[in-house]
Structure 1
């Protein structure tokens, strides 16, 4: 049956669908590459093109854009790789033209081989660099006439403009670039301990030792590689010992608050039920935030332990001031955009959130994003204990 959509199939493939997150990421990368190339083209034309024959954009920059915007975590896409790899390759190609003449296939092959060796030596391996060296040899009279200046104008200018665009666009769209090529295991408690999830199993030192023995270039950052290994360990644990879902261990009779719940009422509810946090719901019972004891301490100015009781009493007492002058309701101090999980989420997926990221309470939502329960650190510890106990008994 033909599709009723007026959009062509290729465009429908870019729109949100079953794999919305993946397609959104693809569309974001494509838009970023477009923005980066437009910046390089227009700025390069403004800076370099004094006449119609002046080069201001080279084709290999398109390949650099694919790496910088589609694979921003790759070691091959980092700023030094983009700029250094392209410029060094341009210089090597220009040197081959000066020594052996341009246009020959043998010279072209030699230029690419020497460019690869130079990029390896300078630790700036960048695949489009090979195309830059090739362009320097077979690019025609205009490129040959430019000589070594070809590596600076336009290659250096284009590469720098593309990197600037990649830094701005990737970070504004929520992706870290440049990538720090090492694992970060800083404790959320500002102590020397590493994260709990990396205290067992393989260690960062184990990974470093294996990488030193692996005498090849990896097109993936070190921290991403370690994350993949940790996730693989978690999946293997899940497969071996079975899947326990959030719905199996969550508390269902959840004490919650609304945006307009008075602060003193929320505090009394937490004290009465001996709990550390309250999910904040809207009228449709969807989670819009979470308020914890830490939020009360942070917003109440309770740094001085000696005055803690008096300051907390003053903070919770209604003042009669407008909401813009003093916090009066839960919605003014709650943490917005809380981390939630679904009923069918495996509890192993909560371990990094609670052990490493410092979340103590994870609201559980149903298929309609309405609150169905809550999982605390105590629930998770009890479930993992029972799982290990059952394993030992078996």
Structure 2
């Protein structure tokens, strides 16, 4: 598998410019997928509620705020405001605040303001801030006799029921579409099981720097701090690769690569690793094409052939920018990137040592200012 690159991004269609300014990272395909998800989710939620209540029920089968919740759930599933607890808790608690305001305040204008205000406060304290919750509070106040007749039951049926069904359908939809939902940012782990932070976080900015920067703006941003840190660190790596684009993989790769056949025994593979003092062995099939890699970790206590032990290889092309491999070769898991051609034939290999040497050569020489004339 190749590490992600800006050049791997799909080319923009003529219509994508209408979507690009709205949200960072959004693509036209994501918007079309969001449309499909909202269509399925809203229709199924209404259908299931209709089956539960019966068509003759005077209770609304689905409340209006679910449409706004669907926008967040399917268009921006990474938003903290679109997570399951935000949708279920935010809508339910806000509807409850609206019912309370309507029961205590008889002036509908004042009740709507108080209901939305209480909804924001309650969602903030319960960590389930969800913009459609404001609409849920308004619906509880202005819903008329139908909503009023249900009283304190309204926040739970249909609001909580609608929200739970919507989230359940969203979970299944995002799983099928391979989106990370609920959105969880995996904390970088030290793969050596020691107390040290991972190597990618030992230099540069730290979480406290992000907090300090956010404090200077005095604004609230709809992004998790962990996501923000991950984006900034990747931006650093992209800037390094861009400023050293003249160094290509072909310039630094090892060309005499030690490989192992797919039907070789574990003992043979282990001997190759130790004899050549390498950490990764590309595994080749009968046509000399790459099928994966093995390392000493897989071979330490195994037996038989290497075929069943081979894991997916991280690959790149000879003309790729070498420093684009920084992120993958510093993740604590990958020790080498295999350079292949279009037919998956091996052209070379770049190890962590190869990349470190390239980085060292790219550093400004002592006593010479970057950009100064020779």
Residue 375 (structure 1) aligns with: 350
* 5+ long unaligned stretches in structure 1: 1-8, 11-20, 301-314, 316-326
- Correspondent of 1:333 among 306, 309, 330: 309
How far residue 157 of structure 1 moved from its aligned partner, in angstroms, is 1.2
| CA 1:247–1:23: 2 relative to 1, 3 Å | farther
How far residue 221 of structure 1 moved from its aligned partner, in angstroms, is 1.4
Q: Is the 8 A contact 1:251 1:373 kept in 2?
A: yes
2:206 aligned with 1:230: no
Aligned residues: 347
Between 92-101 and 67-76, the greater mean CA deviation after superposition: 92-101
| CA 1:59–1:120: 2 relative to 1, 3 Å | same
- Correspondent of 2:50 among 45, 64, 82: 45
Q: Is the 8 A contact 2:66 2:132 kept in 1?
A: yes
> 1:35-80: per-residue Cα shift (whole Å, max 9, x none)?
5445533443344447342223222213212322332321111222
Q: Secondary structure at the match of 2:283?
A: strand
How far residue 358 of structure 1 moved from its aligned partner, in angstroms, is 1.6
Q: Secondary structure at the match of 2:258?
A: coil
Q: Kindly report the root-mean-square deviation, in angstroms, between the aligned alpha carbons of the 2 structures.
A: 3.3
2:96 aligned with 1:91: yes
Q: Secondary structure at the match of 2:221?
A: coil
Q: Is the 8 A contact 2:199 2:332 kept in 1?
A: no
2:134 aligned with 1:130: yes
- Correspondent of 1:356 among 331, 352, 372: 331
How far residue 287 of structure 1 moved from its aligned partner, in angstroms, is 2.9
2:355 aligned with 1:384: no
Between 24-33 and 62-71, the greater mean CA deviation after superposition: 24-33
Residue 322 (structure 2) aligns with: 347
TM-score (norm 2): 0.79
2:124 aligned with 1:120: yes
| CA 1:389–1:268: 2 relative to 1, 3 Å | farther
The 5 Å alignment of 1:109-188 reads: 109-171=113-175, 173-180=177-184, 184-188=187-191
Q: Is the 8 A contact 2:284 2:290 kept in 1?
A: yes
Residue 13 (structure 1) aligns with: none
| CA 1:23–1:289: 2 relative to 1, 3 Å | farther
